[in-house]
Amino acid sequence: MGAIVVFGAGGRAGRAVTAEARARGYAVTAVVRDPARYPDLRAECVTVVRGDVTDAGSVTATAAGHVGAVHAVSPFSGPEQGFDTLDPRFFVKAADALLDGLAAAGVGRLVAVGLGANLLGADGRPVMDDPLAFPREIRPFALAHTAGLNRLRERGGGPVDWAMLTPAGHLDHGGARTGRYRVGGEQLPAGSREPWLSYADLAVATVDEIEKPVRHRTRVSVFNFLER
């Protein structure tokens, strides 16, 4: 079936995508900053390598020969780290490196994991602009992520066909894999039911978009509804 390269394979989304891809018969190249920190990632059909998602040469070297790439990299493992060292252009640099590096490697499909903070709320404003819904201390990270999305849009006409899947609602780390998900647009789902998504179902949506691309050079929201 070929191989998928997962940038950010050590994080929650990256691990879920790696597991889903393996279950479907893909080999996975799991790209992390320091392989020594992730001995548990090593498994049958998974090769763990060092890489830098902000360096086009590194992207080319790790992605060559793969059928698709996944961008699930975050410069932080969580807000408890603070944002004093955050490079506001991190996701812009990553977008440029991925588009250039994947093109050089001959990999034509990129699926990126988005951030719900830049979806629009019921009032038409980004969620991150509402201090009641989104902590202000995390806003720099949301702005950096949004800048990366905007860069993908600016460069949308190149040889790499990209899609960004943005969880619209609570992401459940321990949630079950249902194999189902809904796809929306730029706005949070309307109605009284609460949107959520397990990391496992985010991975299903991600690998689906590599196997049979449906969304092209666009960002969509992905979610399920809590059953009550």
Per-residue pLDDT tens digits for 67-107: 999 999 988 655 555 677 889 999 999 999 999 999 999 99
Q: How confident is residue 200, by pLDDT bands cut at 50, 70 and 90?
A: very high
Mean pLDDT of 15-35: 97
Across 8-17, 29-38, 99-108, 130-139, least confident range: 130-139
Taking 3-state DSSP, the helix, strand and coil percentages for the chain, each rounded to the nearest 5, stand at: 35, 25, 40
pLDDT tens-digit map of 165-190: 999 988 998 899 999 999 999 999 98
pLDDT at 85: 80
Residue 194 and residue 7 in contact, taking contact as beta carbons nearer than 8 Å: no
Query: Half-sphere exposure (CA, 13 Å, Cβ side) for 7?
Result: 31
pTM for this structure?
A: 0.95
The rounded distance, in Å, linking the Cα atoms of 72 and 149 is 13
pLDDT at 8: 97
DSSP state of 212: S
pLDDT at 165: 98
The rounded distance, in Å, linking the Cα atoms of 2 and 126 is 38
Mean pLDDT of 199-220: 98
Across 23-32, 83-92, 215-224, least confident range: 83-92
Residue owning tokens 């961008």:
71
Is the C-alpha dihedral spanning 70, 160, 164, 131 positive or negative? positive
- Integer CA distances (angstroms), 125 to 130, 133, 137, 147, in order: 8, 12, 18, 16
- Nearest CA to 115 out of 188, 184, 166 is that of 166
For the chain, domains (ranges, CATH) are: 3-225 (3.40.50.720)
pLDDT at 2: 93
